[in-house]
Amino acid sequence: MTLTLTVLGGSAAWPNPGQGCSAYLVEDGTTKVLLDCGPNTLLELRKHVDYTKLDAIVISHCHSDHILDLVPYRYGLIYGPGNSSLRIPVWLPPGGRERMEMLGGAFAGQGEPHASFWEPAFEMEEYDPAAGLTIGRLRISFAATQHYVECFAMRVDGPENRTLFYSSDTGSVQPLIGLVQGAEVVIAEATLDQSDDKPEAERGHMTPEDAGRLADAAGAHTLIVTHLWSERPDNVVEKTVSEHFRGRILIAKPGLRVDA
């Protein structure tokens, strides 16, 4: 039994040409979970899976590049042909419900309570990062990252000890070292250039060097580098990462599939 990851986006804060932002589909043959739901990623999701059949969506943090496609997803679940009674569980970080109600309020009908925008499509709950989540046969554990808002990296443990790790957005490798160990596939962001001269303690994003160090600490066989600007050539990112990680290095692209 494999644990398969499908990249649905991979852009940084806004979509690159032909590429949406953060969203990663994880499947173990039975359970299907979406990690984040950034803008312009539903169009890729729908190529790979029946969008009505996800077991859950887990959100790392409430920045727009990680949540915005929940809006069209909501419309699809309610108004898509034959979908009237579907509700997909959406697990949010602590404080996420209030943020999502504010977002829903912008689209809710006149006089409608803000929370009611999401209710027909999603069961929104906040996870307890210390307790983690069990979704089908997948176990999801969290570690708080260093970011501009509260944000959580995720480790997904599947059947037969298959494990993958998603850094979400973080300015430092350090808070993730404990959780990443043993992950076979690491998805790590590398938004900043090497030339960024901010001290690590003040960053909200990592560099390619950091992504390589994180995958190396995990002992991973594969690193998927993500949350990238298209203006920076892939081979420049790959070269820097390869100085810090000796396993397989892939650049996140929509439709890229990797087994843990």
- Residue ranges that bind Zn ion, judged by CB under 5 A: 63, 65, 169
Please state the closest distance from residue 227 (CB atom) to Zn ion, in A.
6
155 vs 1: CA distance, rounded Å: 18
For Zn ion, the nearest residue by Cβ is: 63
Q: Which is nearer to Zn ion, 160 or 196 (CB)?
A: 196
Calpha distance 166→125 (Å, rounded): 20
Residue 234, number of CB atoms within 10 A of its CB? 15
The CA distance from 206 to 198, in Å, is: 11
If the CB atoms of residues 65 and 157 are measured against Zn ion, the closer one turns out to be: 65
Q: Which is nearer to Zn ion, 63 or 155 (CB)?
A: 63
- CB of residue 246 to Zn ion, shortest distance in Å: 27
Please say which residue, 171 or 247, places its beta carbon nearer to Zn ion: 171
Least distance between Zn ion and beta carbon 63 (Å)? 3
CB-nearer residue toward Zn ion: 21 or 77: 21
Element (H, E) at 57: strand 56-58
Provide, rounded to whole angstroms, the least separation between the CB of residue 109 and Zn ion.
30
How far apart are alpha carbons 35 and 168 in whole angstroms?
9
What's the rounded Cα separation, in Å, for the pair 211 and 172?
9
Q: How far is the CB of 116 from Zn ion (least distance, A)?
A: 27
| Distance of alpha carbon 24 from alpha carbon 57, whole angstroms | 10
